[in-house]
Amino acid sequence: MAIEIKVPTLGESVTSATVGKWLRQPGDAVAADDPIVELETDKVSVEVPAPAAGVLESHVVKEGDEVEVGAVLAMLDAGAKGGRTASKPAPAAEKKAAPVPAAAPAAAARPVPVASEPPPAETDYDIVVIGAGPGGYICAIRAAQLGFKVACVEKRATLGGTCLNVGCIPSKALLHSSENFHAAGHEFAVHGVDIASVKLNLAQMQKRKAGIVEANVKGVEYLFKKNGITWLKGEGKVQGTGRLTVAGKPVTAKHIVIASGSDSAALKGVDVDEKVIVTSTGALELSAVPKRLVVIGGGVIGLELGSVWHRLGSEVTVVEFLDRLVPGTDNEVEAAFRKILVKQGLQLKLGHKVTKAEKTGTGVVLTVEPSKGGTPETIEADVVLLAIGRTAASEGLGLDAAGIALDNRGRIEVDEHYATSVPGIYAIGDVIKGPMLAHKAEEEGVAVAELLAGQAGHVNYDAIPGVVYTWPELATVGFTEEQLKEKGVAYKVGKFPFMANGRARALGMTDGFVKVIADATTDRVLGVHILGPAAGELIAECTMAIEFGASSEDIGRVCHAHPTLSEAVKEAALGVNGMSLNI
């Protein structure tokens, strides 16, 4: 029986991928779950498995092709016997019922570096880190703690990278301020707090945000001084093993770690000016509330910033290529999340793409059409936020001249120890494969510093939480139901609504639920998904459970303080085995 092997759901705001490498050829005999092809995106690299045993009939696409989620990759003759036996690498461990934790980024091919000067016999520093974002500055601090002489290169006027300056921190400041503004106008009365009128002081809100950013970046500068780390100001360029320049001046080091981060992804036909067509950077600096805001992209950044300006008074429309929000999130959780956002007043135009943005004297006119083709239409906006993802910031670093291998998406290729194709040069964070998350970069920064010190640095990529800081928040860690079905893993689910949680009722924040997924045989926790108040805080307990291989019963039998929101996690864990107490 012929079976189509398709592009699976790939992750946050990921609508397409590049066919990296075929791991099985037509005529090869394959077993169920054997990897067939490697797909690469800006955020993740995945191996697509065979859905059943059989013989691979044909490749529908070739290496290097761009393919959309749901597209057919290959045809499999399920149940067929015979065929060639494909050579496989020896498995790392015997296959178990629960999925094996994800490996570190895939090992890179080792091209011969461009001929250059030999490594310096003596160096200025033991380690130089290029980039002072969360991955870079944390790597520098950990390396200094381990006794290395460390310098960190940063071309911005302040430390902290995108996250602290124009990303995570300022956006969370505006999210909290906008939530307070909305609560004062719509929620305080039920608490007996009557306010005659609520007036927005956007200038003060922006001033508060700027103060928070300044405190954080100065905090990193203090940590550099405390740990004896030298800040090399200027643009860094790699010259080869042990050699680089900073602002044109030569610097030497025994080890170089590239942590250059990422940039906002561009979209053909949409020209950013950071005034009326903005990225997240411009959206954080608007001096007035736009009457009509259109967000291109239904992922984390677009929904967070769209929520900010919606609460402050904007009519917000989100245009998303897929027929859902936050791709990669558990389907049941996404559906509930979407209903809440619609109830709040966000307008969602799913399954559509923007093909053109024309600036007018009063704003922008967008041309939008169905993703699968159809009649185009126009949408008028005062401001357009382009938030379709991010791309690795690998240009301008001298990587090609130094012989450092990049993949076809401009990401630096590394092995399991974060080593690049050039000896003595390493890379971490958004500039390599994997989810573009500050905390993932931080973990990699610690890992590479410890590896360079001869320790056992390691990152468990199955225990990296993700959070959408809307209200309610959405937090997730581990596998979704859809991913486990694709892997053929038997599982059980426990759920508990915040409506049945005493603290949530007291707070008046009862939207959402906790969902715990555990292995049907071993009860090991495989994934947790939370939609509700403080989900980003509650997910930490669940991440630790996955990291330590805990069972759902382990979580359920831990005493949780009462009344707390965390009791919803306990109850959902108990629910896996039908033991929930308060529902």
Q: Between the CA of residue 519 and those of 491, 524, 525, what are the distances in Å?
A: 4, 5, 6
Asked if 12 and 66 touch (Cβ cutoff 8 Å), the reply is: no
* 3-state class (DSSP) for residue 261: coil
The residues annotated with a catalytic role in the active site are 562
CA atoms within 13 A on the CB side of 159: 29
- CA distances 364 to 72, 200, 271, 311, 355, Å, are 37, 25, 11, 22, 13
DSSP β-bridge partners for residue 265: none
Cα 307 vs. chain centroid, distance in angstroms?
Answer: 19
Entry field: residues in the chain: 583
315-320 sheet: strands from edge to edge = 277-278, 383-386, 292-296, 315-320, 347-350
Distance CA(336)–CA(324), nearest Å, equals 11
Beta-bridged to residue 47, according to DSSP, are: 38
Give the CA distances from residue 426 to residues 188, 442, 524, in Å, rounded to whole numbers and listed in that order: 52, 14, 34
Euclidean distance between CA atoms 456 and 448, whole angstroms: 9
**Half-sphere exposure of residue 583, counting CA atoms within 13 Å on the CB side?**
21
